[in-house]
Amino acid sequence: MAERIDIGIDGGGTGCRVALSVDGGPMTETQGGPANIVTDPAGAEAAIRLTLTEALAAHGLGLDAMRLARVCAGLAGARLPGEADRFATRLPFLAYVVDDSVTALEGALAGADGTLASLGTGSFFIRKHAGQTRHVGGWGFRLGDEGSAAWAGRLALALALQVLDGRLPADTLADALIAACPPHPVLWAVEARPGDFAQLARIVLGHPDSPIAVTVKAAILDALEDGLEGVGHSPGTPLVLTGGLGELLHAALAARLRADLRAAAGRPLDGALRLARGLP
């Protein structure tokens, strides 16, 4: 008979994952559907419940075993005021609900102090020091996500339109970006989502010597520096840089930042399970 179950949950708009450990044993992982607690809290609850049920069943357990569970759920959007508590009350079991950036930091640094900068489709910066956590950015494509792939793609496309206007010199990257956004970038942008703009960043990376690409890369590095300053990153302390765009920037970092770089120790899901194991 199990005496304790530790459960970590990682959830967002593309899916959720559940890590489960019985009595300190090895972790098992189960994947499920989208779990966006802001745009579809009912759907997120259903996805988490179903995935959790499957995770328990893999150990021969039912939902009644949740009385033995310690649960940490790292969920995108939980940083918004009231969202973590609001969603926690929807769940049919007691859970510690935090923003997914918190579990990402815990996983990346294995609980140690340090800074995590995530530059993927979106972006955020978070640092833990002396028991305190400081978080900046991550407010989404419309209002933030500076330094992210989506932000970079939008900037590059805006500069391409300046080339079209004759305000900037001719640039082969501008031609490629405009061709990628038919019938016209302005019309394309009406329906484009952050992931679509992030795809434009791939085109930018394919033209490294283009004047637009040089400008965009400098802007990304400036945004990274601003984010690190915002969370109070101290030179000489661990820095983990994740996300598809972030990982490509390692070689371009200033020497003082490269010296701080560490490989991520684990994933957000690992961080969620680690936090669950620390619950009384």
Residue 166 has pLDDT above 90, yes or no: yes
Residue 53, domain CATH: 3.30.420.40
Residue 1 has pLDDT above 70, yes or no: no
Cα separation, 229 vs 258, whole angstroms: 15
Residues 169 and 215 in one domain: yes
pLDDT at position 251: 84
Q: Residue 139: what are its φ and ψ, rounded to 5°?
A: -90, 10
Closest CA to 152 of 232, 246, 230, 84: 246
- Summarize pLDDT for 138-152 with one digit per residue, the tens: 888 888 899 999 999
In 214-258, beta strands by DSSP E: 239-242
Q: What is the mean pLDDT of residues 92-101?
A: 90
**Is 116 domain-assigned?**
no
pLDDT at residue 2 above 80? no
Q: Write out the residue range of the structural domain in which residue 85 sits.
A: 5-110+265-277
Residue 96 has pLDDT above 80, yes or no: yes
Q: Residue 143 domain-assigned? A: no
For residue range 234-267, what is the model confidence (pLDDT) as tens digits? 989 999 999 888 888 888 888 899 899 999 999 9
Residue 201 has pLDDT above 90, yes or no: yes
Q: Residue 226: pLDDT band by 50, 70, 90 thresholds? A: very high
Percent of the chain past pLDDT 90, that is, above it, reads 68
Domain co-membership, 185 together with 246: yes
Q: Tell me: the pLDDT tens digits for 265-277? A: 999 999 999 999 9
Sequence-ordered list of residues with C-beta below 8 angstroms from that of 35, at least 6 positions apart, any chain: 11, 12, 13, 15, 16, 43, 44, 47, 48, 75
Of all residues in the chain, the percent with pLDDT exceeding 70 is 100
Largest CA distance in the chain: 74
Per the structure, the count of domains in the chain is 2
pLDDT at residue 107, as a whole number = 95
Q: Residues 6-62: pLDDT tens digits?
A: 999 998 878 899 999 998 888 999 999 988 888 888 988 999 999 999 999 999 898
Same domain, 189 and 225: yes
Its pTM stands at 0.87
Is there a single domain that holds both residue 88 and residue 175?
no
Question: Do residues 102 and 157 both lie within one domain?
Answer: no
The tens digit of pLDDT for each residue in 58-82 reads 998 988 888 889 999 999 888 889 9
pLDDT of amino acid 93: 86
Q: Has residue 158 been placed in a domain?
A: yes
Q: What burial class does residue 85 get, using C-beta atoms within 10 Å of its C-beta: 0-12 exposed, 13-18 middle, 19+ buried?
A: exposed
Per-residue confidence at 104, pLDDT binned at 50, 70, 90? very high
